[in-house]
């Protein structure tokens, strides 16, 4: 059975939350792709919408959005996920994982893209106390 460690980031506050899913709770994620938007109830955030941004497999190879399928491949990279070039124009053949979540994936990265309307309104709206008029004015 699949076991995932999900890291959900909140871009607004800059915080992240870790959730571990096993067994039947992890099954809805298998077959999903990097970039898909899901219901946050999968990660324990009901009412939220989360987007899959990446992940890594059991051996630490990162998922790359432009490599199709759930397989591990050696591709030539010029930068981005999986390779940070030291010199301008440098390219290198590196092993990366495809953009589909399989049972070999261990870690999945997600970010919150939509929060419930109640949470947004509760933070933005603050009622101010009405100002008292001076009694000395006539």
- Sketch the domain layout of the chain as residue ranges: 3-117
Higher pLDDT, 1 or 125: 1
Between CA 7 and CA 123 the distance in angstroms is: 24
The whole-number pLDDT of residue 131 equals 64
Evaluate if pTM is beyond 0.85: no
Considering only 8-17, 61-70, 118-127, which range has the smallest mean pLDDT? 118-127
Give the angle subtended at the CA of 37 by the CAs of 34 and 38, to the nearest 5°. Answer: 110
User: Confidence class of residue 43 from pLDDT cuts 50, 70 and 90?
Assistant: confident
User: Confidence class of residue 11 from pLDDT cuts 50, 70 and 90?
Assistant: very high
Between CA 51 and CA 43 the distance in angstroms is: 11
The whole-number pLDDT of residue 106 equals 95
Asked if residue 94 lies in contact with residue 82, where contact means CB atoms within 8 angstroms, the answer is yes
Q: What is the pLDDT of residues 19-36, one digit of tens each?
A: 999 988 899 999 999 999
- Return the H-helix or E-strand segment holding 115: none
Q: By three-state DSSP, how is residue 42 classified?
A: helix
Check pLDDT > 90 for residue 126: no
């Amino acid at each position: 059975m699949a076991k995932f460690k999900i890291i959900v980031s909140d871009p607004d506050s800059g915080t992240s939350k870790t959730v571990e899913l096993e067994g039947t709770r992890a099954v809805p994620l298998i077959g999903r792709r990097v970039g898909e938007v899901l219901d946050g109830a999968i990660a324990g955030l009901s009412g939220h919408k989360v987007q899959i941004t990446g992940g890594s497999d059991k051996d630490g190879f990162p998922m790359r959005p432009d490599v199709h399928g759930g397989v591990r491949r050696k591709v030539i990279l010029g930068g981005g996920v999986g390779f940070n070039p030291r010199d301008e124009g440098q390219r290198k053949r590196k092993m990366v994982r495809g953009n589909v979540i399989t049972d070999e994936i261990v870690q999945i990265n997600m970010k919150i893209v939509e929060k419930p309307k109640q949470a947004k309104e509760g933070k933005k709206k603050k009622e101010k106390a009405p100002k008292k008029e001076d009694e000395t004015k006539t």
